[in-house]
């Protein structure tokens, strides 16, 4: 019995998995797409509801905005990811040159990095010696600990574009759905407000839980921002519609 319990304990230790959340880049893209997808079409629909009396017009304008917005957001994500990849390659090439042309300076930088973690030069020297035997790992070390850069995935740009665009489209249909189902635009607006604010709250809570920032705080913050944007758009459109110079 003692051996079994011991074996189970060892197995548990061997398979210990820390609860760190990974794939942060994908989550960031989803958050960007959903946040804008829920907020921008919501504000547009609310604004149009304050100026026009047709759900059909709101739907058509909303669909056009979702199409344009998803393309623009996806393209922006693609260009940003490409820029990150190009920056990483450029910095890596520079580090590869420096460990050859400025070896002593790079060695000193390694000591400085370890000093930040209260590791003295004598303790860091064996690590430096090991890195010098493997230039590729030396460069990897400098990229990670000196520059704080991680190598982007090969398909990062395309995946980022598709993730952001898809999330934007998914979020954008939430505030438009009531206008597709209800002809009375005022009733559709009320339904859209309830549904979208609920979606923003759920989205904010999930985002807060995933990134560890507190689900309640994130839910309230996201809902308030989305609601404020829609209220401002509706109020401005109503004012302009009623203003006669």
Question: What would the pLDDT profile of 57-91 be if each residue is shown by its tens digit?
Answer: 999 999 999 999 999 999 999 999 999 999 999 99
- The span from the CA of 178 to the CA of 187, in Å, is 8
pLDDT of 82 reads: 93
Contact 188, 55 (CB under 8 A): yes
CA distance 238 to 112: 61
In the predicted model, residues of the chain with pLDDT beneath 70 are: 1-23, 241, 243-245
Q: What is the pLDDT of residue 61?
A: 92
| pLDDT of 26 | 84
Task: Give pLDDT tens digits for 101-125.
Answer: 888 888 888 888 988 888 888 888 9
Entry pTM: 0.75
pLDDT at 244: 52
Q: What is the pLDDT of residue 64?
A: 95
Residues 177-210, buried b or exposed e (16+ Cβ, 10 A)?
bbbeebeebeebbebbbeebbebbbebbbbbbeb
| pLDDT confidence of residue 5 | 43
pLDDT of residue 209: 84
Classify burial at 85, counting beta carbons within 10 Å of its beta carbon; exposed 0-12, middle 13-18, buried 19 or more.
middle
């Amino acid at each position: 019995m003692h051996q079994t319990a011991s074996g189970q304990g060892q197995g548990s230790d061997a398979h210990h998995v820390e609860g760190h959340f990974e794939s942060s880049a994908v989550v960031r893209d989803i958050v960007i797409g959903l946040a804008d997808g829920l907020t921008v079409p919501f504000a547009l629909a609310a604004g149009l509801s304050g100026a026009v009396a047709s759900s059909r017009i709101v739907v058509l304008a909303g669909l056009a905005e979702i199409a344009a917005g998803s393309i623009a957001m996806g393209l922006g994500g693609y260009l940003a990811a490409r820029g990150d990849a190009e920056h990483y390659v450029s910095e890596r090439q520079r580090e590869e040159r420096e460990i050859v042309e400025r070896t002593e300076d790079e060695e000193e930088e390694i000591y400085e990095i370890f000093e930040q973690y209260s590791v003295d030069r004598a303790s860091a020297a064996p690590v430096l010696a090991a890195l010098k035997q493997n230039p590729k790992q030396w460069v990897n070390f400098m990229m990670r600990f000196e520059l704080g850069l991680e190598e982007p995935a090969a398909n990062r740009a395309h995946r980022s574009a598709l993730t952001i665009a898809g999330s934007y489209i998914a979020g954008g249909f939430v505030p438009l759905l009531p206008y597709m189902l209800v002809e009375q635009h005022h009733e559709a607006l009320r339904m859209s407000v309830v549904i979208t604010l609920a979606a923003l709250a759920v989205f904010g809570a999930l985002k807060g839980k995933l990134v560890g920032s507190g689900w309640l705080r994130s839910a309230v913050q996201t809902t308030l921002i989305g609601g404020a944007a829609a209220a401002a758009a509706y109020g401005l459109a109503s004012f302009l519609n009623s203003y006669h110079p």
